[in-house]
Amino acid sequence: MTNLSTFSGAFESWYGLLEIQARGDGMKKRNLILRGVIAMLLVACIAPMLRAWEREPLSVFAGRRAKLIAAVNAPVVLFGYTGHEEANPSYVFIQEENFYYLTGHNEEGAALLLIPESAGEKGWSGPHEILYLPSRDLNEERWNGVRMGPEDPGIQDKTGFANVENFAKLHDTVAALAKIYPEIYTELPEPHEDGYPHAAIWSKWVKDAAPQTTVKDVSSAVATLRAIKTPGELALIQKAIDPSIDAHLAAMKMLRPGLYEYQIAAKMVEIHDYAGCETEAYAPIVGTGYNSTVLHYNKLDRRIEDGDIVLMDVGGQYSGYASDITRTVPANGKFTARQREIYEIVLGAQNAAMEAVKPGMTLGGQGPTSLQKIAMDYIDSHGKDKERRSLGRYYIHGLSHHVGLNVHDPSGPSRPLEAGMVITIEPGIYIPEENLGVRIEDDVLVTPTGYKQLTARLPRLPDEIEKIMAEGKSK
């Protein structure tokens, strides 16, 4: 990595050469040359520090598209984000998940059209998959960087699409397909997301372009594919997990009474950033005392007190892929007897559920294959609250969800676990009247014969946690 001393030395050398070259040419010319060199050196200095977005081979995305169009056997049109979904000046563009999953394209304003191979029998003579890109705007590129355009040389090799066309042509193509297909698939808004801009706006666009067709939702079919991770996806998920583990270890070592929740979160985010994570997989949760019992607590404004329990649910995102990890630790480095009791019950429930993970098991339900039931039964049969009631009433959420391009990744219609799925195992007990919330969460890959814990490097045993925290105090 280029450092400031290297930059300073290079600058002095170039400045000396410029003084000789520009002597006698006038101050104006000298300043123009100097500005150009400064810009060039800044680029050379900063370039090695820029995050590198990793992407699977283009052939992997092509394979996904082939599976999708075979599953629906009707035209599919999907739209990427435009870059105007948020007005916040700190917004960093990351592509719409389904669009990225099928294209690997991470720039604004694109669209994808897939057409069944059988379309030729209906009179279709055009290509069977087209990536549509907006025309390049050179003035905008001066502000936001170079973008791909449909007329760029070599655009087919860059995108993995044999056919790349201008976005302006999409409307007429969809209208032509509507004459031979009674149905067209796109993303429709969920019933509870009636006003969600992306799906609502673009599904209306399709209906307006093809008013005589039935517009159907493709989201479930894509989600079914997304549930099974490729080796490349697993590698990227692990690259999100590894710095997240490092962040949790660092938090354990620095944590002590007197700090604020936001200071713990800030340290963890710093470690994610330094490792190349482009953002957090979700808003960091660091809850101490009563806040540990609030599931999605993210105010992070409380001072950590001696005797508190601290719940940390924090994970980074790497090249679009999420991690999701929770650990619960004692603020002063030593669990109280009650804290340890509740912690060990949660850990026992997690172990029981995790050991049962294999193809054919289900995340929810009440049957013998339900991981949720395994965890609940364990919690309900171990320990009591202050009124001698079972603790199941304090386990108030699901045990698991899928992880991938979204921290709560879609998986299509409910079905038993299959090899290649990545899920969380995260039981918890939350007792507000005791200011005591404990959750332990790990990311797990379902294998053909069982599971692999992707977060195994991060200790879970209470003695191990206390040892790590003691090591942090001694430094």
Q: CATH number of the domain that 206 lies in?
A: 3.40.350.10
Report how far residue 37's alpha carbon sits from residue 40's, in angstroms, rounded to the nearest whole number: 5
Section 437-447 average pLDDT: 98
The pLDDT confidence band at residue 239, using thresholds 50, 70 and 90, is very high
Range with the poorest average pLDDT among 185-194, 221-230, 360-369, 465-474: 185-194
Regarding whether 170 and 66 lie in a shared domain, the answer is: yes
The pLDDT confidence band at residue 250, using thresholds 50, 70 and 90, is very high
Range with the poorest average pLDDT among 28-42, 261-275, 294-308: 28-42
Report the percentage of the chain scoring pLDDT > 70.
Answer: 88
Regarding whether 411 and 277 lie in a shared domain, the answer is: yes
Regarding whether 363 and 469 lie in a shared domain, the answer is: yes
Is residue 466 within 8 A of residue 335, CB to CB? The reply is yes
The pLDDT confidence band at residue 30, using thresholds 50, 70 and 90, is very low
The domain boundary residue, chosen from 226, 259, 292:
226
User: pLDDT value at position 49?
Assistant: 41
State how far the alpha carbon of 305 is from the alpha carbons of 230, 266, 268, 310, 341, in Å.
44, 18, 20, 10, 20
Contacts for 383 with CB less than 8 Å, ≥ 6 apart: 341, 342, 345, 390, 391
Residue 414's domain comprises 231-473
pLDDT single digits (tens) 47-57: 334 467 999 99
Report how far residue 205's alpha carbon sits from residue 346's, in angstroms, rounded to the nearest whole number: 49
Range with the poorest average pLDDT among 27-31, 95-99, 260-264, 330-334: 27-31
Looking up residue 466, the CATH number of its domain turns out to be 3.90.230.10
Question: What is the total count of domains within the chain?
Answer: 3
Regarding whether 165 and 18 lie in a shared domain, the answer is: no
φ, ψ of residue 282 in degrees (nearest 5) = -170, 165
pLDDT single digits (tens) 383-430: 999 999 999 999 999 999 999 999 999 999 999 999 999 999 999 999
For residue 451, the cross-strand partners are: 446
User: pLDDT value at position 331?
Assistant: 98
Section 229-255 average pLDDT: 98
Is residue 264 within 8 A of residue 414, CB to CB? The reply is no
Regarding whether 108 and 24 lie in a shared domain, the answer is: no
User: pLDDT value at position 48?
Assistant: 37
Going across the sheet that includes 316-318, the strands are 279-280, 316-318, 321-322
State how far the alpha carbon of 418 is from the alpha carbons of 284, 343, 353, 360, 446, in Å.
30, 30, 16, 7, 7
The pLDDT confidence band at residue 85, using thresholds 50, 70 and 90, is confident
Tell me if the pTM is above 0.75. yes
Instruction: Look at residues 335, 440, 455 and name the one whose alpha carbon lies nearest to residue 395.
Output: 440
Residue 2 has pLDDT above 60, yes or no: no
Residue 28 has pLDDT above 70, yes or no: no
Section 251-278 average pLDDT: 98
The pLDDT confidence band at residue 190, using thresholds 50, 70 and 90, is confident
User: pLDDT value at position 193?
Assistant: 63
Mean pLDDT of the chain: 90
Regarding whether 217 and 193 lie in a shared domain, the answer is: yes
Regarding whether 383 and 245 lie in a shared domain, the answer is: yes
User: pLDDT value at position 46?
Assistant: 35
User: pLDDT value at position 195?
Assistant: 53
